[in-house]
Structure 1
Amino acid sequence: MESILDWVRNNTDLIIHYTIQGVLAIVILFVGMRIARFCEGLTEKAFAKKGVDKAVGSFVANIFYALVFAASVLMALSQVGIETTSFIAILGAAGLAVGLALQGSLSNFASGVLIIMLRPFKSGDYIEAGGRAGSVQKIEIFSTELRTPDNKVIIMPNSAIMSGPIVNFSREATRRIDLVIGVSYDSDLKKAKEVLQSVLDNESRVLKDPAYTVAVLELADSSVNFVVRPWVNTSEYWPTYFAIVENIKLELDANDITIPFPQMDVHLHKD
């Protein structure tokens, strides 16, 4: 114990020096983190003010945050006397090993860059990718945040999105509703077609151009199937879909046109 106290007394100036340097390093790191957050927020606001897509602004802001934070760490290490040049060389060698171990994360980063460059979707678009569907909230360095219609948040790795087909339901201004309506073989086909057409004519959200299609699709096992294909604005797709399906059933019932259950005729032969 006495030897420790002697060492402390003999090295008081050195201890004070490194204590001050350590405190300064912590302050630099803390301030650097605050500056990184400030730069991230400032970048997002700047992109939003310029009318740039929110998802792009979020991605670039994340990169700015990572760069400023890394610079703060290097400055803090330099403050405590660690040679940053050699440290960077060590980091480079370690980075290679870590990169091989974290190929998935690097793939996510590369996929994020591709998303920003190719722009298959933007913030607010409703997409289906990687087996999941939702509205795009933001694109980050390694992942993309989706929100489902029932308000669930899905964090999708960027590589999962770019590794397969991407279906963007919001890019075009109009969409087509595809319905198959079956009626009984005993029904009057001309009357059934007129009823289906009247439902579409009475729905104000159905577009006149392109014109809708109502036609006999097939003579199926249990029914005669009509294809009903109206065009609507993308923003009104689901409300119009629900309304048309309901009104078709009501109008067919009102005109005594039957939608048959699946059925099978069985013939018995007695020897």
Structure 2
Amino acid sequence: MVEKRGPGAVGAVAILVIAVIVANGVARSLRRFGRKAHRRAGADDTLFAFAASLFKYLIFAVAIVFALTQLGFPTASLAALLGAAGLAIGLALQDTLKAVAAGIMLAIFRPFRIGDYVSAAGLDGEVIDITPFLTQVKQIDNKIVSITNDKVWAEPLINHTRQTRRRLDLYFDISYDDNMDLALGLVRDVANAHPRVLAKDETWVGVHSLASSSVQLRLRAYVATPEFVDVRAGITKGVKEAFDANGVTIPFPHQVNVPYKGKADATETGPLVQTAKPPEDD
């Protein structure tokens, strides 16, 4: 048995080892080529990353078939066996196949690219990799999250960095006793004075709502997408300083504590004295 199957087993192992080396080499080469094309010509490296993973799995599948033939499995029987196994695996791994199908759709339509900051499946993060099964994003706290492609494709997806500029929306509350025109002018001046605010003629400031305890102002300004967070922090700080310098107050919740007086507290004030009314004469 060993003499009969030994050469075939050695050949099968050799095929699998070579397949692993070739598959990983092809995947690395495609990813490296995608990164170079992205740096030099601005090409989309997302498709290269997806193709690298797809080719790797295809090479593995073909290698397994050849390895089985080396072990003596007839080609016709092997095809029937693979067909039946594929049907069983397809029924058992429906969710996985949905993820693969969704991954193909993501690779074709490309709603995001590697490096984009997106909101997908209820999570926010920078896309760092996409495979036929998973999309990986790096969150702002440096955590890596893997999301199956079917969830990414099935739910609304927000791409925060596809456009070169992004609108900044900020809200500020002032007291009802404050001068609204003064506050609106301060917010506009702070925004337009910021060196990273774009298209200053498009900056808009107005009254957003009349809340229960404050007047809410709204600022709209356009900034470069990579500078969104820094500009938001700078304008918020500048508006607070401008309000303080010009006597504009920012309301905040107040809590009033009223002590509860129970029966014990009521008796300390003295007993209640009731005088009986004398009976009337008949």
Query: TM class, shorter-chain normalised?
Result: 0.7 to 0.9
Question: d(CA) in 1 for partners of 2:178 and 2:55?
Answer: 67
What is residue 221 of structure 1 aligned with on the other side?
A: 212
Give the structure 2 partner of residue 235 of structure 1: 226
Task: Report what 2:280 is aligned to.
Answer: none
Give the superposition deviation at 1:123.
0.6
Contact 2:192–2:203, Cα closer than 8 Å, also in 1: no
User: What is the 5 A alignment of 1:193-212?
Assistant: 193-208=184-199, 211-212=202-203
* The 10-residue stretch of structure 1 (17-26 or 134-143) with the greater mean CA deviation from structure 2: 17-26
Of 81-90 and 137-146, deviating more is: 81-90
SS at match of 2:202: coil
1:64 matched to 2:55? The reply is yes
Q: Displacement of 1:72 after TM fit?
A: 1.4
- Among 92, 102, 107, the alignment partner of 1:111 is 102
**Which letter does structure 2 place at the counterpart of 1:130?**
A
Provide the alpha-carbon RMSD of the alignment. Answer: 1.9
Q: Which residue of structure 2 aligns with residue 19 of structure 1?
A: 6
**CA–CA distance in 2 between the matches of 1:179 and 1:49?**
39
- Say which is worse superposed, 87-96 or 125-134, in terms of deviation: 87-96
Q: Which moved more, 1:234-243 or 1:223-232?
A: 223-232
Give the whole-Å Cα distance in 1 for the aligned partners of 2:76 and 2:34. Answer: 34
Q: Displacement of 1:262 after TM fit?
A: 4.1
**In the alignment, is residue 99 of structure 1 matched against residue 90 of structure 2?**
yes
Q: Distance in 2 between matches of 1:49 and 1:228?
A: 41
Aligned length: 252
**Is contact 2:119-2:157 (8 Å) kept?**
yes
* Superposition deviation, residue 209 in structure 1: 5.0
Moved more, 81-90 or 94-103: 81-90
Report the alpha carbon displacement of residue 18 of structure 1 after superposing the two structures with TM: 2.4
Q: Which range moves more in the overlay, 210-219 or 106-115?
A: 210-219
2:124 counterpart SS class? strand
Q: Does the 8 Å CA contact 1:200/1:230 hold for their aligned counterparts?
A: yes
Report how far residue 44 of structure 1 moved.
Answer: 2.2
Shift in Å at residue 43 of structure 1? 2.3
CA distance in 2: counterparts of 1:114 and 1:179, whole angstroms: 36
Match of 1:137 among 128, 145, 157: 128
Contact kept? 2:192, 2:200, Cα under 8 Å: no
Aligned to 1:77: 68
- The CA distance in 2 between the partners of 1:170 and 1:31, in whole Å, is 41
Pick aligned residue for 1:86 from 77, 85, 91 = 77
2:235 matched residue in structure 1:
244
Q: State whether structure 2 residue 154 is matched by structure 1 residue 163.
A: yes
Identity %: 35
> Is the deviation greater in 90-99 or in 152-161?
90-99
Secondary structure (helix, strand or coil) at the match of 1:145 reads: strand
Q: Which amino acid aligns with 2:229?
A: W
Distance in 2 between the 1:251 and 1:219 partners?
A: 22
Q: 1-side partners of 2:189 and 2:90: how far apart?
A: 63
Residue correspondence of structure 1 range 18-57 to structure 2 within 5 A: 18-51=5-38, 52-57=43-48
- Answer with 1 or 2: which has the greater Rg: 2
- Structure 2 unmatched runs, 5+: 256-282
Deviations 1:20-39 (A, max 9, x none): 22222211211121111112
Kindly provide the amino acid, as one letter, of the partner of residue 130 in structure 2.
I
Structure 2 partner of 1:122: 113
Structure 1 equivalent of residue 261 of structure 2:
none
Please say if residues 124 and 139 of structure 2, whose CA atoms lie closer than 8 Å, have aligned partners that are also in contact. yes
Q: Single out whichever of 208-217 and 14-23 deviates more from structure 2.
A: 14-23
Query: 1:154 is paired with a residue of what secondary structure?
Result: strand
Distance in 2 (alpha carbons) for counterparts of 1:224 and 1:49: 53
Mapped to 2, the partners of 1:102 and 1:180 lie a distance apart of 48
SS of corresponding position for 1:178 = strand
